[in-house]
Amino acid sequence: MNNFDTLFPNFLNQCTEMNHVLTPIAFVLLAIGIVSSTVTGRRSPSAYLRTIGRTFAFAAVLAYLPTWSNEIATTVDSTVRDTLHADPAGVYQQYQKALAINKGTGSTSGSKSWWDVLDGQALFEAGISIILWVLGFIASVIVFYAYLVQKFILYVGYALAPIFIGFLAVRTLHSIGVGFLLGYAGVLCWPLGWGAASLLTSGLIGFMTDQSFLSLGSVGGSAGYGLQNLLGLAALALWLISSTIAAPIIMQKAIATGAQVGQALATTAVVAGSAGAAAGVAAVTTIASGGGVAVAGAGIASGGAAAILGAAEASMTGSTYSPLGNLVSSLGGGMSRRPRRPKKSDPTGDEAVRELLQRFRN
């Protein structure tokens, strides 16, 4: 998934060259830190030793930053994939596995004939599987570009690292250097955000594959099972796309500032869900008023874009208010409404324009 070095083969060499050019600045700042700590009065021998020890530690971070960052990134990525089994692109496989477990067909599926498979439930679940496969493909594209962005941020951070690591030695600039290292560590831990988001994804898949309604053995049970899957699919679609985008940003913010990951993910889910619900209501209203399926589809698309933008903004700001999401949703809502026909008394539309201007002023 991580093909940044293949796509941009010379980028790391350029960043390394820039790092070497800026390294003398780091040594100058380290020297300034030692001198400033020495000239301050009443310094004990242990304080001098601590200053020298910190200086050697900062120099070690500067020298081994790329090696340590590569090891941390590899460890985090393998832990999330192999131990936590968190992969936004594997939602289709998760659904199939959970469905087989809940239906109890793990060992008896081979005894079914092809005619038994062609029932309403199997066709319905096959349609759900196709939609989840598409969602998984979209999530895989997002994850692919997220890894590219992660590598770009890490390489640029490595190129500029001498300046900020040098800041660690200067007391007045120490907080800036700490913020840089925390932000760098947050970018390394991006995949952990997908691991946290996968907890709700697994819960939604378990809700969709629950066979409680089917045990009733009636038409109402089948209808309940279908409604259960449709609700779960709508929630899963919004959550999967929005969390795949927002979870890495939330994890980085949590490491850099100590923000609560669960609270930020819940805010993301609320923003994405409200935008998606508004788009669904607008689409139903449009179809009911005779606006057409195509216009309703535009409203749904704008609602999905509003959900994604809102989730991204919520992950960065921590607020449930999304100006961009509201703007896109309002544009989609405007597209979903049927255009008004001009009045016979106002064929040029001048009166309608004056009414709009008056409403805007009020």
pLDDT tens across 155-172, in order?
999 999 999 999 998 888
When pLDDT is averaged across residues 243-260 and rounded to a whole number, the result is: 87
Task: Give me the mean pLDDT over the 310-325 stretch.
Answer: 50
Q: Amino acid identity of 71?
A: E
Position 16 scores a pLDDT of: 92
The DSSP letter of residue 362 is -
> Phi first, then psi: what are they for 346, rounded to 5°?
-135, 70
Class of residue 340 by CB neighbours under 10 A (exposed 0-12, middle 13-18, buried 19+): exposed
Handedness of CA 212, 125, 275, 356 (dihedral sign): negative
DSSP labels, 276-336: HHHHHHHHHHHHHTT--HHHHHHHHHHHHHHHHHHHHHHHHH--S--HHHHHHHHHHHHHH
Asked whether the beta carbons of 80 and 143 are under 8 A apart, the reply is: no
* Complete DSSP assignment for 100-151: HHHHT-TTTGGG--HHHHSSHHHHHHHHHHHHHHHHHHHHHHHHHHHHHHHH
Q: What is the pLDDT at residue 311? A: 55
Q: State mean pLDDT over 85-95.
A: 86
CB 146, CB 140: distance < 8 Å: no
CB-neighbour burial class of residue 285 (10 A; exposed 0-12, middle 13-18, buried 19+)? middle
What is the model's pLDDT at position 52? 85
- Using the predicted structure, report yes or no on whether residue 71 has a pLDDT greater than 60: yes
pLDDT tens by residue, 24-51: 999 999 998 888 877 765 667 777 788 8
The pTM of the full predicted model, rounded to 2 decimals, is: 0.70
